Amino acid sequence: MQEKSLWRATAPLLLDMPQLAGEHKVDVAVIGAGFTGLSAALHLAQKGISVAVLEANEIGHGGSGRNVGLVNAGLWLKPAEVIARTGEKTGERLIKFLGEAPAEVFNLVQKYDMECEAKTNGTLHCAPNVKGVKDLEDRLQQWQDQGAPVTLLDQSQTTDALGTDRYKAALLDKRAGTVQPLSYACGLARAAMSHGVKIYEKSAVLKAEQTTNGWSLQTEKGKVAAEKVICATNAYHEHAQANQPPAMSSLYYFQVATDPLSPNQLARILKGKQGCWDTNTILTSFRLNDEGRFVIGSIGNLDHMGGAFHINWARRTMAQLYPELKDKPFTHQWYGRIALTNDHIPRFANPMPGWAMVWGYNGRGIAPGTVFGKALAEFVQSNDADDVPLAQAKLKAEAFTKTQSFFIELGARGHHFINAR
């Protein structure tokens, strides 16, 4: 099934960067031009440090440019689960760090005047059933205990906010918001370049060697010598053939979009323009873009035989949520890959001197990627592991990653096949 990404079609200022050629020398080389790598490059360059970013494809080619665009606080896990899995000290620090992450994103958007459809009006986590309501009530209490500005909307308020009566409650997080994700990635790239960062596309790292002065990274047509390296490839690490994150499970997430809704439809459907997702295991996300297009997505890979199941499910679900859209055709469809860790906590590693990486965002990439990129920038300057609010991990492959990835996709296909009928 051929991709046609709405984000690529509507990004106002796409970049076309050269391929690396010849030999270059910088203080820090960054592998990967997504949220993490570009944020790291920007924050290093703000300190006068010379940086080269090597991207195997194009800026935002991976999960960064295929994202739903929800700038959420925290992880998918509840605060108590984060503490249980990381320990009290690390957990409390990580919760605070990621709770403040959306503000970091929107501050950068404002500072560098990024054209990325940014909205700071919160996001809505929606409950379709009693089980979901109980989950949201638990999240509400835990986040309020952390001092977060979250509010639980009752069914009437939820119906008014969404324009559909399919959900019983919704958790409004006022820290959060939305962006056009590919435009935000391009905004980070422009901001980094304004401070002197060099970005190279079509420049996969084929070989990495330690040298007496740091590292030598070789691409198809060039070579970069750097004192330090930040590896920011996350779920798309196969493009760089050196010192990558270990094997991990992954899931695919697809989205489809309509043409713009009518003024009457926009007055009722998502009138607050919040981005939304629900509490279902095979979740549904939905939002509007600045043109008024309705965007809906879920777990699933469009590039296999199950792609038709996913598209049919999206069409039926959109009609169930908003019957007036039942005949609205989809004009765009695309998908991306999400890196999963077995405990749903991101990983930080410094496996060799001068080489640092964070991976495994588990579907929360925009705000965490931005602040972890900043933290990696601080770490390679100080070599102080406390700059990153995660315990250091070993580069050890997790068990049964291919099997888990297979069954996630199989489950999504089954769910979408049954619910598209």
CA distance 286 to 255: 9
Provide mean pLDDT across the span 159-165.
Answer: 98
Provide mean pLDDT across the span 235-263.
Answer: 78
Provide the pLDDT for residue 307.
Answer: 82
- Provide DSSP, 167-213: -SEEEEETT-EE--HHHHHHHHHHHHHHTT-EEESS----EEEEETT
Nearest Cα to Cα of residue 283 among 3, 4, 70? 70
Provide the pLDDT for residue 340.
Answer: 85
CA distance 317 to 309: 12
Condensed to tens digits (0 to 9), the pLDDT of residues 30-46 reads 999 999 999 999 999 99
Nearest Cα to Cα of residue 214 among 114, 352, 84, 310? 352
Count Cα atoms within 13 angstroms, Cβ side, for 94: 26
Residue with tokens 């779920």: 235
CA distance 384 to 352: 14
Nearest Cα to Cα of residue 369 among 181, 238, 201, 241? 181
Provide the pLDDT for residue 32.
Answer: 96
Q: What letters, b where the CB count within 10 A reaches 16 and e where it falls short, cover 107-142? A: ebbeeeebebbbbbebbbbbbeeeebbebbeebbeb
Provide mean pLDDT across the span 196-216.
Answer: 96
Which residues are CB-neighbours of 50 under 8 A, at least 6 positions away?
Answer: 26, 27, 28, 196
Provide the pLDDT for residue 415.
Answer: 62
> What's at 55, amino acid-wise?
E
190 has a pLDDT exceeding 70: yes
- Assign 3-class secondary structure to 218-280: ECCCEEEEEEEEEECCHHHHHHCCCCCCCCCEEEEEEEEEEEECCHHHHCCCCCCCCEEEECC
Provide mean pLDDT across the span 80-99.
Answer: 97
pLDDT band, residue 14 (cuts 50/70/90): confident
Residue with tokens 């019983």: 168
Q: What is the pTM of this model?
A: 0.94
pLDDT band, residue 297 (cuts 50/70/90): very high
- Which of 293-307, 317-331, 380-394 has the lowest average pLDDT? 293-307
CA distance 150 to 100: 14
pLDDT band, residue 277 (cuts 50/70/90): very high
Provide the pLDDT for residue 238.
Answer: 61
- Which of 45-49, 148-152, 210-214, 342-346 has the lowest average pLDDT? 342-346
Provide mean pLDDT across the span 277-298.
Answer: 97
Q: Are 177 and 190 in contact (CB under 8 A)?
A: no
Which residues are CB-neighbours of 97 under 8 A, at least 6 positions away?
Answer: 371, 375, 389
Q: Are 373 and 51 in contact (CB under 8 A)?
A: no
Provide the pLDDT for residue 327.
Answer: 94
412 has a pLDDT exceeding 90: no
Output the average pLDDT for the chain.
92
Residue 77's SS3 state is: coil
CA distance 70 to 212: 43
241 has a pLDDT exceeding 60: no
Domains defined for the chain, CATH in brackets: 6-122+175-403+409-415 (3.50.50.60), 123-173 (no CATH)
357 has a pLDDT exceeding 80: yes
Condensed to tens digits (0 to 9), the pLDDT of residues 371-385 reads 999 999 999 999 999
